Structure 1
Amino acid sequence: MKAISTIGLLILSNTFMTIAWYGHLKFHEWKGFAKLGLFAVIALSWGLAFFEYCFQVPANRIGFKENGGPFTIWQLKIIQEAISLIVFSGFTIIVFRNESLRMNHLIGFGFLILAVYFIFKK
């Protein structure tokens, strides 16, 4: 159950992170946001990133082996990176429809999956 909770919280965390980091790139298309200055965009993104931390910190505390969780610190990091890539890919496909997912991206993702394998290998 701690593994599922950890992964679920990491998915939520990465969703907020991706929106905070890349969502503002579409502000020019949204009425009311198009004229925001850089400082306002930074403040808005920072506000969204707050929620990232509200999920990230508990995920790591619940999932960390020394706190009774199932994962080492290395495993937590590689899980987070893999989830980040998946969330980012979905976000990009949905929000940035002019960006295409190409074979070189898939090959790179394959290497990251291999990284997950090697990090979890005993």
Structure 2
Amino acid sequence: MATNNGAGKARHKFHVKKGDTVQVISGKDKGKVGKVSEVLPTAGKVIVEGVNMQTKHVKPQGDQQGQTLRREAPIYSCKVMLYSDKKKQASRVGHTVTDAGKKVRVLKKTGEILDK
């Protein structure tokens, strides 16, 4: 669901954060596991390391030589699922309150707490 904070573009709510380990659940990179390196809230997309690699051809400029660069492109956040490194399993995310009164994210299948 998108929310508009009165500042123009709508911002999407995400189930993943920067630094989370995720698994791609659909598309050409289905099954790949990587770490979220960037979150793009206005586009509803995330950039995952080693996933959705694209080739960019750079022309030579001045004394620099032309080259071919490989970089990650954004994918929609709905195409990724949080991943447990310990259990090697993807899972949906839930929320719970700890004894200290802090709201944390929890993997539903494994019970692993994500936020510390």
Fold conserved between structures, TM > 0.5: no
Query: What's the TM-score, normalizing by structure 2?
Result: 0.20
Relative CO higher for 1 or 2, CA cutoff 8 Å, sep ≥ 6?
A: 1
- Which has a greater percent of helix? 1
- Which has a greater percent of strand? 2
